[in-house]
Structure 1
Amino acid sequence: MKKILHLTIFLAVVAAVAGGALAFANDLTTPIIEKNQLAAEKESLKILYPEASDFKSVALKGDSKTIQKIFQVDDTTYIFKMQVAGYKDGTVFMVAINTEGDLLKYHAISNGDTSGIGTKVTEDAFKASLEGKKANEPLDTISGATVSSKPVVEGIHEAAAYVDEYLK
C-alpha cells in the first residue's frame, strides 16, 4: 500500500513538472510562431498584389467556419483568407473580390488532399478558370477532383456573399 502511494505521488510530481515545462515552452514559442505566420500571410498577400504597400486587416462580422481573415487592398477590393474542408486535409487559399462581385485573384496556399487529384486546386489551370468571373455566379469545379474543388468554390461564394452583406 505504501509503495502504491509513493508511486502515485511520484507520477503526480512528474506530470506536474512535464506540464509546467510544456507551458513554459508554449509561452516561449507562441510569439515566434505568430510572427512566422504573419510573415507567411504577408508573403501570400504580396503574391496577389505585389504593388500594394499595405494591407489593412478588416474585422470579421458574423460567424464563418471558412473565412479566417479579411484584408482590404483599396477602397473596393478585399482579400479573404479561407480554409475549407476537402477529401483529406482541405485547402487554405486567398481570394480577392471587389465590391462589384468580381473574382479578381486566387492563390492556393496549401492543400492536403490526394496528390495529383485534389491538389489540382493549387494549379494555374484552376486559377485561370476562376479569375475574371463573378464570384457569386456558378464557377467550374475540377472533374475528378470535385471533393477538393467544390469546397473552394463554395468558399468563394461565401466570400462573395460576405462582400454583398458587409462590405458594400
Structure 2
Amino acid sequence: MKKILHLTVFLALIAALAGGALGFANSMTAPVIAENELKAERDTLKVIYDDVPDSAFVVEKENVSKTIQKVFKVEGKGYIFKMKVTGYKDGTSFLVALDKDGKVVDYVAISNGDTQGLGSKVTEKPFREKLQGADALGSEIDEDTITGATVSSKPVIEGIKEAAKYQADHLK
C-alpha cells in the first residue's frame, strides 16, 4: 500500500513537471508561430494586391461562418475573403478578392486536398482567369465552371457567392 502511494506521488510530480515544461515551451514559441503565420498570410494576400503595403490589409472579421474564415479590408481596394470549403475529399482553402460591386478581382487557391487531375483544377490558372471580373452575385459564374469537376468547383463557386452576399449585406 505504501509503495502504491509513493508511486502515485512520484507520477503526479513527474506529470506536473512535464506539464510545466510544456506550458513554458508553448509560451515561448506561440508568439513566434503566430508571427510566422501572419507573415505567411500577408504574403498570400500580396499575391492579389502586390502594390499595397502590408498595413493596408486589416482583419475586419474572423470566423464569420463555417466557410468564411477571415475577412480582410484592403484600403482603397475592397475586401479579401479567406475561405475553406469542403469538396470530394479534403476541400479547398482559397482567397477571393471582391470589389465594392461584388465582382471578383482575383482568386488564389491556397490548398486543395481533392483528387489530383479533375479536383485540383480549382487551383489552376484557367479556373482563376475564368473567375476574374465575374459578377459573384450574378450568373456569370456557375457550378459547372470545370467540366467533370463539379464536386470540387461547386463548393468554391458557392463559397465565392456566399462571400459576395456577405459583403453586400454587411460590409460597405
Alignment of 1:77 onto 2:81 = no
* SS across alignment from 1:60: strand
Q: Which residue of 2 aligns with 1:116?
A: 117
> How do 1:21-32 and structure 2 match up within 5 A?
21-32=21-32
Alignment of 1:51 onto 2:57 = no
In 2, are the aligned partners of 1:129 and 1:140 still within 8 Å (CA)?
A: no
Q: Which moved more, 1:117-126 or 1:136-145?
A: 136-145
Q: CA deviation at 1:76?
A: 5.1
TM-score, scaled to structure 2: 0.85
* SS across alignment from 1:165: helix
1 or 2 for the larger relative contact order (CA 8 Å, sep ≥6)? 1
Q: What does the per-residue CA deviation read over 1:45-80, in whole Å, with 9 as the maximum and x for residues that have no partner?
A: 111111122423142289412222222224452111
Aligned CA RMSD, in angstroms, stands at 2.1
> Structure 2, unaligned stretches of length 5 or more?
none
Counting aligned pairs with the same residue, the percent is 56
In 1, are the aligned partners of 2:82 and 2:94 still within 8 Å (CA)?
A: yes
Q: 1:145 aligns with which of 141, 149, 157?
A: 149
Q: CA deviation at 1:161?
A: 0.7
Q: What does the per-residue CA deviation read over 1:116-142, in whole Å, with 9 as the maximum and x for residues that have no partner?
A: 343222111221221121112343443
> Structure 1, unaligned stretches of length 5 or more?
none
TM-score, scaled to structure 1: 0.87
Show structure 1 runs of 4+ deviating over 6 A. none
